[in-house]
Amino acid sequence: MRRRQQPPLPKRHGLDPARLRLPEDGEWATIRDHLVERLPRVPAARIDELLREGGIVDLAGPIAPDAAYVPGGAIWFHRDLPVETDVPFEIGIVHRDDDLLVIDKPHFLSTIPRGQHILQTALVRLRRELDLPDLVPAHRLDRVTAGLVLFIVNPARRGAYQTMFHKRVVHKEYEAIARFDPELELPRTIISRIVKERQVLRAFEEPGEPNAETRVELIEERDGLARYRLRPRTGRTHQLRLHMNGLGLPILGDDFYPELTDKPVGDFSRPLQLLACALEFTDPITKVPRRFETRRTLQAWNDPVGWERGIRA
């Protein structure tokens, strides 16, 4: 396996610098000219400032503002961070050893940096708070879903643990709160084809070869609501939300299905009532069976009045 090139800049806020490969067929006079054209969202004045401050480097060190373009070269720099809204919820630690870290992610916290969520993500917060600069996730949860996420502490073990999820040998269990339908026969297995297009917020189901499978079971019901256990065999984007909606049981707090609603990023009321509650697998290193369970609960079941009013638990 080809080793990843070590960046010549240190991490900042727990994040590696961005790396840009300079095209072989480039005809720009300077690296600065190339960056102005390649990064149209970054003002030219900001690029000039980074060059003056030595914030753009190659393997030899800082790049001068008038440095000549080098076809096939590579440069590194730290991107400017977006203005973010603090996510005021703690990350629970379920398990930690030399190889693994299992957390209880709160609602509204992204697993990894993406788009407008960078510092306020589980990965960056954990790298900084626990002083684990090489920490990486073995899988992900949606920002609005709470519950268990497994991270890898030891870089030498990344392949073994990430492969478990790629091969679908990790048993996952979720809980969801939705309305109770006495006419619906459960348990049942939903099999469908789910498609998620780039730059489109919602996924959708369409005819064709199935690629998504979920087992849905009823745990208990009361007062028109029910707790459901969801056991996905696959991991398509928004799979559980789509399959529940397809049964006529949209998960409480879902702002995507059945209708897309515009919820401000800083609105932490009425979280999606979906919880990743268990992870179970045979450890690929020790060969010992392991099971981790969440310590979180879903507010709409324990405090339905508070959830409806948007009162945080």
* Domain at 23, CATH number: 3.10.290
pLDDT at 1 over 60: no
For residue 198, what are the domain limits? Answer: 92-308
Q: Which of 53, 77, 101 is the last residue of a domain?
A: 77
Q: Enumerate the active-site residues.
A: 142
* Beta bridge partner(s), residue 21: 74
Say how far apart CA 123 and CA 132 lie, in whole Å. 10
Lowest mean pLDDT among 102-106, 148-152, 304-308: 304-308
Element (H, E) at 302: helix 299-302
Residue 34 predicted with pLDDT over 60: yes
pLDDT in tens, 167-181: 999 999 999 999 999
Average pLDDT over residues 148-155: 96
The Cβ of residue 131 has, within 10 Å, a number of other Cβ atoms equal to 9
149 in the same domain as 120: yes
Average pLDDT on 191-199 reads 93
Bond into 43 cis (ω within 30):
no
What pairing do the DSSP bridges indicate for beta strands 136-137 and 289-293? Answer: unpaired
pLDDT band at 117 (very low <50, low <70, confident <90, very high): confident
Beta bridge partners of 292: 279
Q: Is 229 contained in some domain?
A: yes
Cα angle at 21 between 15 and 56, to 5 degrees?
A: 55
- Spell out where 4-154 has E strands: 18-21, 56-58, 61-62, 74-77, 92-96, 100-105, 136-137, 146-152
Give percent of the chain above pLDDT 90. Answer: 82
- Answer yes or no: is 82 within a domain: no
Number of domains composing the chain:
2
Query: In the beta sheet, which residues pair with residue 51?
Result: none
What amino acid is encoded at 17 in this protein? Answer: P
Are residue 173 and residue 219 in the same domain, yes or no?
Answer: yes
Read off the pLDDT of each residue in 278-291 and give the average, rounded to a whole number.
96
Buried b (16+ CB within 10 A) or exposed e, 53-88: eebbbbeeebbeeebebeeebebbbbeeeeeeeebe
The overall average pLDDT reported for the chain is 93
The two three-digit tokens of residue 138, written as one number: 């073995």
Total-model pTM: 0.88
Q: Which runs of consecutive H residues, i.e. helices, occur in 82-222?
A: 122-129, 158-166
Asked if the structure places residue 38 within a domain, the reply is yes
